[in-house]
A and B are shown apart, each in its own frame.
Chain A
């Protein structure tokens, strides 16, 4: 059974710190991997999409990497701000074009 694990489940850091969120998956035959952000009571917003042929994607202070051989993706957030507080979810698309989701990491940035 394909699984996605996100560790830690929750993280609290002071404002300004650089941080890394982790996503591990069991199926190396992925089609792509996406990182999403979810604010309380809201839907999900796509942050970054990494195709299987790519190693990383960057958007502003966010950088996502993908290592299929080790079954890992990381989301790096530089110079964290209180507005970055949210739940971050990763999901990979398998060879059947199905999205397999992690449970998310709840991030709190303390002012």
Chain B
């Protein structure tokens, strides 16, 4: 079974530039999550999709971050314009369940450095 795929693995940009990350969850998983993980901290949920609807985006900085999940499968996370404090690893995860989290499966993450 293929795992959660993310790209790019690494991205370096200057502040005020834009960046986009892509995620392909495990086939059949209804729920998709984007997390931000700053070095030395636990993951912080940015947005949770169930199929192609948003379940929780309360911690997404909507003035600069946006995310979509087309047709309930792939998802993209965009940052525009980037700030220095956005330097982090962006993790995508998926799970089977619709009610409750269940077991999460993570991709390898996209490491963003903002200069």
Point out residues on A near B: beta carbons under 8 Å.
Answer: 4, 31-32, 34, 36, 41-46, 49, 89, 91, 93, 97-99, 101-104
Contact = CB atoms under 8 A, between A and B. Distances in A.
B107 interface: yes
A41 B99 CA distance: 30
A37 B12 CA distance: 26
Contacts, number: 56
B17 to A, nearest CB: 23
Per DSSP, chain A at the interface is strand
Given A43-B106, A98-B56, A103 B40 contact: yes
A49 B103 contact: yes
Contact of B111 (A41, A44, A93, A99): A41
Interface of B: 4, 6, 40-45, 56, 91, 93, 99-109, 111
Contact of A43 (B41, B44, B91, B100): B91
B41 A103 contact: yes
A9 B38 CA distance: 15
Contact of B42 (A41, A42, A46, A101): A101
B42 A89 contact: yes
Given A101-B43, A104-B42, A44 B103 contact: no
16 contacts: A4-B42, A34-B101, A36-B104, A43-B107, A43-B108, A43-B109, A44-B106, A46-B103, A46-B104, A89-B42, A91-B42, A97-B101, A98-B45, A98-B56, A99-B45, A101-B44
A59 to B, nearest CB: 12
B39 to A, nearest CB: 11
Given A44-B43, A98-B45, A93 B109 contact: no
Nearest to B6: A43
Given A89-B42, A97-B100, A101-B42, 8 more contacts: A31-B101, A32-B101, A44-B43, A49-B102, A93-B101, A101-B44, A102-B42, A103-B40
Contacts of B100: 31-32, 93, 97
Given A98-B56, A103-B40, A103-B41, A46 B101 contact: no
